[in-house]
């Protein structure tokens, strides 16, 4: 029930924020340049996502071959995945958040929040993990 409320809120809030962001940028640059900028940021973000994703996959393979659990690498992979999804969506606000998720220097900020969220879910018993 709570999830559906958040989903409905996101379906209305995110497009509204993106519309206001586009209007703001279009007022300063003009609509054609704003559209071009939105397209260029999406392409650059997609290329960054592919590059960083391949790097994370390679790092996780190396860690697994060494017998280590690639925990931090898996969180990086989640950040890159969600950042890529945000970069695919048209808009400047989602592009900024998506770039910060994909970019390696800002990704640790999100990793801290993800770790706290996972820890909270595990303590509540609402997060289940399976070991082999």
Identify the CA nearest to 99 among candidates 57, 55, 47, 35: 47
Q: How many Cα atoms are found within 13 Å in the side-chain-facing hemisphere of 126?
A: 6
Distances (CA, A) of 24 to 21, 41, 88, 113, 123: 5, 17, 20, 30, 43
Under a CB-based contact definition with an 8 Å cutoff, are residues 94 and 87 in contact?
yes
Closest CA to 68 of 56, 76, 60: 60
Which ranges of 30-91 does DSSP label H, i.e. alpha helix?
31-65, 71-88
Per-residue pLDDT tens digits for 35-51: 999 888 888 888 888 88
Q: What is the pLDDT of residue 132?
A: 65
Which of the residues in the chain have pLDDT under 50? none
Residue pLDDT, tens place only, 87-105: 888 888 998 999 899 888 9
Which tokens belong to 61?
């393979």
The pTM score is: 0.78
């Amino acid at each position: 029930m709570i999830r559906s409320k958040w989903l409905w809120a996101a379906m209305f809030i995110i497009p509204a924020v993106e519309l206001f962001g586009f209007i703001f940028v279009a007022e300063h640059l003009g609509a054609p340049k704003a559209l071009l900028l939105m397209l260029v940021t999406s392409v650059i973000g997609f290329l960054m996502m592919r590059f960083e994703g391949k790097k994370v996959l390679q790092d996780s393979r190396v860690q697994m071959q060494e017998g280590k659990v690639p925990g931090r690498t898996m969180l990086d992979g989640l950040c890159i995945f969600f950042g890529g999804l945000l970069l695919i969506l048209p808009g400047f606000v989602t592009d900024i958040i998506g770039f910060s998720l994909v970019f390696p220097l800002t990704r640790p900020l999100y990793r801290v929040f993800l770790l706290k969220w996972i820890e909270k879910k595990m303590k509540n018993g609402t997060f289940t993990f399976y070991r082999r």
